[in-house]
Chain A
Amino acid sequence: MADRITDIGPPHFEKFLPPVIKDNYGKWKYHEIMEPGVLKHVAESGAEIYSVRIGSCRLITTDFARDLCDLADKYCGGYLRFTSRHNGEFLVSDKAQLEPLKAELKKQGLPIGGTGHSVTNIVHTQGWVHCHTPAIDASGIVKAVMDDLFEYFGSHKLPAQVRISLACCLNMCGAVHCSDIAILGIHRTAPHVNHDRLRHLCEIPTTIASCPTGAIRPHPDKSIKSVVVNEERCMYCGNCYTMCPAMPLFDSEKGGVALLVGGKVSNAKTPPMFSKLAVPYLPNNPPRWPETTAAIRKILVKYAEGANKWERVGEWVERIGWEKFFEVCEIPFTFQHIDDYRWAYDTYRTSMHFKF
C-alpha cells in the first residue's frame, strides 16, 4: 500500500498537444470555417492547423475509440480531441492530409459538420442505458432527432447556431436550462412510497427535507416509521427518490418529454438566457419518439423561416413575442406554461406590449 499512487490529477495536457499547437500556443491570429465541419486556424507565425469535426455518439465503445485513434495516426500525427458537445475533432497539421481524411470519414459513415450556423451534436445524459432516475432514454432520442435534422448538421443554413440538449429527468445532468432547444424527460406521477423498504433504507428527516414543495411529512400513524406524500403538492422532481430509494416515481405510461426553447449561454448581442417551456408533454414513444422529432423539426423550421439574420432562437422568440411563437409553431397554450414556482411574478406581462 505504501507505494499506492493517489491524487495525481489528470495528466498535463501538454503531452497531448500536436507540435503545431505547442509551438503556437496563445499565438493564434484568426480562424476560418472553410466548409461545414472544417476549421482553419492561422497563427501569428503563419502556421496553420485544420480541425475536422465529426458527429459521433457520446456513448461509444473502446472499439470505436480505437477506430478514431487509427484515423488520427494515419492523418493527424496521432492527435485528436473532443468538443464540449460530444463531437470528435481530428487535428490535421499537414494540409495534404485533409482531403484523404475527409474521404475516409465519409467512407466510414462519420458525418462532418457541427460548425457555424448548424445544429451541432446534442449534449445529453445517460438515460435508460445507465441511470436510475430517468423518465426517458437519452442516446435513442438523440439518434432519432439527429437522423431527422441531419441536413442541418453538415450545413450552415440557419439564421444562427442552434444548440440542442437533452436531460432525461429534472435533475438535468445535461444542464439543458440554457439551450436553444431543450429536450427534457419528465415524470408526471408522485412517488409511490414503499413503507416496508423505507423503514430500512432511508433517513426520514432528510427525506422530508429533500422536498422543495414541502409535500412530504411523517406518516400520521406513529407506529409506521415512514412518510406520506401530499400528491397535490408534488411536481415530480424526484429529489426525494435521490435521497430515498424507497420512493420511486416511475410510470411507464405517464412519463414523457417536455420541450423548452430559447436559451443561450453566449453573450453575443444579448445576455445569456434560460430556456422556457414550449411543449409541456409529448409521449414517451421508443424507439424513435416520432412526436418529439416532429415537434422539434416544426420549431426549427419556423425559427429558420422567421428569424432575422444572426438571431438565436431565444432572440427570435423575444422579438416576436411568446404569444406569436405559440401561434406560428401551432403549440396550444396551457396552464402548464404559466409559471407558479419561486420567481413566477417575473414572467407575468405587466405592459400593453403584446400582440393579438
Chain B
Amino acid sequence: MHQTPLLDQLESGPWPSFVTDLKRMAAKKPQVDDLLGQLERSYKDKITHWKHGGIVGVLGYGSGIIGRYSDLPEEFPGLEHFHTMRINMPAGWFYSTTGLRDLCDIWDQYGSGVLNVHGATGDMVFLGTRTEELEPCFQALTAKGWDIGGSGSAVRTPSCCVGMARCEWSCYDTMQACYDITQAFQFELHRPSFPYKFKFKFSGCPNDCVASVARSDMSIIGVWKDDIRIDQAAVAAYAGGELKARGGGSPWNKLDVKADVTDLCPTACMSYDGKTLKIDNKNCNHCMHCINMMPQALRPGTDTGATILLGSHAPILEGAQMSWVIVPFMRMEPPFEELVDLGTNITEWWSENGKNRERVGELMLRLGMRNFFQSVGLEPPAQTIRTPRANPFFFWHAEDFEAEAKGRKYIKA
C-alpha cells in the first residue's frame, strides 16, 4: 500500500471521507491503491498527473468513454489506462437496489470499483478501466438494460429534476420528457457529429432544480398559464403560525404573509388583508416565491406546459451565458413530438453554421436572432427579450417590405 500522509488528513472531520472509502477498495484492488498513491503525489506536487485524453471507445460509438492515462505509469502501473465510462443514469436518478447492485457487479468485474454519483452532466460515471475492458463492460451493461451516455461533440446525456415523481410543483412530466428525448436522440448521443456539445435539461418549474437555465443548451422549464391555486384556509393557517413558513425549511416558523410573501412579490400582483389572499394572475410572472413560502396553501395552475430557453453554457469561450426564451409556452405531452422537432431543427441549423467548438448560444449571437428564428421556423415572441434595443441600428430586408405591402409584420416562418 502506498503511504498517503497528506490524504490521511482528509479522513478526519464530520463530512464523509472519500479517502476512507477509497482505502477500503484499495485493499482489494491494486489500481485503487495506485489511484490514492498518484493523488497523494498531486497533493504534494500541486499539479495533476493525468495525461491529456486519447481516443478510445466501444464499437460503433464515438462517445461515452473518455480516455485517461497516468503520466507516471511506471510508478503507478494500475493507472497506465484509467478510462472513464459515462453510464446514462435513470431519469430523476431513481434506482432500485437490484439495478444499482447490477451496476456495482459489472463495475467490480470490469473496472476499478470507483464511481461518481453523479457526474456534472448527470451520468453515473465509472472511473478507471483498461482499453481492453471497455467493450466487454459495455456488453455486460447492455445485457442488463443499461447504455452509455454522451461525450465530445454530441448530444450529452439529458437530465431532469424529480418532477411529477415526487414534487407537486412540476408543470409537466420531466422524467418522461427526459426519457423520450434521450431515446429520440440516441444516434446523436452516441455518434458525435456536431460542432460541440449539446445539452438538454428538464426542470418542472421555475425553481429550476437541475439548473437548466445555466447548464444546458436547451432548457425546458415548466410553467403554468392560468391561476395559482389557493387554499385560503391554509393561507390563514400560515398567517396564524399553525403551518410553518417554507414548509419548515427556514429559521422562521410563523409567516408574516404581507411582509414575507406579498410585499416580496416581484410584480406586486398580490395582496393580503389579513383574511383573503388575492392574486392578479394576469400580472404574475410565475417566480415561485409565494408558492415556495406556502406549499400547503398555493400551487401552480393546471393549464401547464414548458418554456423553451436556448443557449446557456459555462464561460468558455465568449463568457458564460444563460439560456434565453425562444418559445414562451409549449404543451408537453408524450411523445413530445413538437420538442423533438424543434431540437432537431435547432441542431441542424447549428451543425450547418456553427464553427468548431462553437456552442449554439454563441452561434445565435454571431448570426443574430433573426437568422435563428427564421431558420428553425419559429416566430419571434416578445418574451424573448428583456428590453428592446436602445440603438437605432436595425436592418430592413426586402422580405420586410414585401410583408409590409401585404399588411403583415413579417414573413411567416
**A residues bordering B, Cβ < 8 Å?**
1, 4-13, 15-17, 21, 25-26, 28-35, 41, 49, 51, 55-66, 68-69, 72-73, 78-84, 86, 88, 91, 109-111, 115-117, 123, 125-126, 128-134, 137, 139-140, 143-144, 146-147, 150, 153, 156-158, 160-161, 167, 170-178, 206, 209-210, 212, 237, 239, 241, 243, 245, 250-253, 255, 263, 265-270, 272, 274, 284, 286-288, 309-310, 341-343
Contacts and interface: CB of A to CB of B under 8 A. Distances in A.
A351 to B, nearest CB: 16
B5 to A, nearest CB: 9
| Top 7 A-B residue pairs of the complex, sorted by shortest distance between their CB atoms | A116-B249, A245-B52, A147-B13, A172-B314, A128-B42, A267-B206, A5-B142
Nearest to B44: A286
Contacts of B98: 78
A84 B174 CA distance: 14
29 contacts: A10-B88, A10-B182, A31-B247, A51-B166, A55-B15, A59-B115, A62-B108, A72-B97, A78-B98, A82-B93, A86-B118, A110-B16, A125-B120, A126-B116, A128-B42, A130-B84, A143-B10, A147-B13, A157-B251, A161-B249, A170-B315, A170-B316, A172-B320, A239-B317, A255-B47, A265-B212, A269-B264, A270-B287, A310-B264
B164 interface: yes
A342 B319 contact: yes
B68 interface: yes
Contact of A212 (B48, B96, B143, B318): B318
Given A143-B17, A245-B52, 13 more contacts: A9-B183, A12-B90, A30-B168, A30-B299, A65-B103, A78-B97, A81-B92, A109-B16, A156-B249, A268-B288, A284-B46, A287-B10, A310-B250
Interface string B142-174: 110111000000000001011011111010010
B94 interface: yes
A117 B94 contact: no
Contacts, number: 372
B318 A60 contact: no
Contacts of B84: 130
Contacts of B60: 6
B25 interface: yes
A241 B82 contact: no
Contacts of B94: 13, 16-17, 79-81
B244 A32 contact: yes
Interface in B110-158: 113-120, 122, 127-128, 139, 142-143, 145-147
B107 interface: yes
Contact of A61 (B24, B266, B315): B24
A341 to B, nearest CB: 6
Contacts of B19: 143
A65 B161 CA distance: 22
B53 interface: yes
Contacts of A288: 9-10
Interface stretch (B271-279, B289-297, B327-335, B390-398): B289-297
